[in-house]
């Protein structure tokens, strides 16, 4: 991940965590709603991965 992607991933992660906690949701509940793993949600919130924008 280059520097620009890393900065974007961090900003998205902070926003995802803020929205999730404002809703009172756990990472497990968010993962279930998004049909993904808790580990993936954690990676996104920590800025380690960018979320996918694909729809199933």
Indicate the pLDDT class of residue 1, thresholds 50, 70 and 90. confident
Per-residue confidence (pLDDT) for residue 26, from 0 to 100: 98
For the chain, what are the domain ranges? 3-45
By C-alpha distance, which of 7, 12, 6 is closest to 52? 12
Average pLDDT for residues 28-44, to the nearest whole number?
Answer: 97
User: What are the structure tokens assigned to 25, written together?
Assistant: 């949701």
Give the total residue count for the chain: 56
Per-residue confidence (pLDDT) for residue 56, from 0 to 100: 61
Average pLDDT for residues 14-41, to the nearest whole number?
Answer: 97
Q: What is the DSSP letter of 36?
A: S
């Amino acid at each position: 991940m280059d520097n620009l992607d890393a900065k974007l991933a961090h900003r998205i992660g902070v926003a995802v965590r803020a929205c999730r906690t404002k809703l009172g949701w756990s990472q497990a509940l968010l993962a279930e709603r998004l049909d993904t793993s808790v580990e993936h949600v954690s990676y996104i919130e920590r800025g380690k991965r960018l979320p996918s924008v694909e729809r199933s």
